[in-house]
């Protein structure tokens, strides 16, 4: 949901993606 964030913190993007799947 944050293109600039994933480029600065790819790890955060992975966590958000996992959370997104958990939330459905």
Here the tokens at position 17 are 């993606």
Say what percent of the chain tops pLDDT 90.
25
Q: What is the dihedral of CA 10, 11, 13, 14, to 10 degrees?
A: 120
pTM of the model: 0.43
Query: What mean pLDDT is predicted for residues 1-24?
Result: 78
| Amino acid 20: pLDDT | 92
What's the rounded Cα separation, in Å, for the pair 7 and 3? 7
| Amino acid 19: pLDDT | 92
Residue 12 near residue 18 (C-beta atoms within 8 A): no
Structure-model confidence comparison of residues 8 and 10, the more confident one: 10
């Amino acid at each position: 949901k944050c293109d600039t964030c994933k480029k600065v913190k790819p790890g955060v993007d992975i966590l958000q993606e996992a959370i997104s799947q958990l939330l459905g």
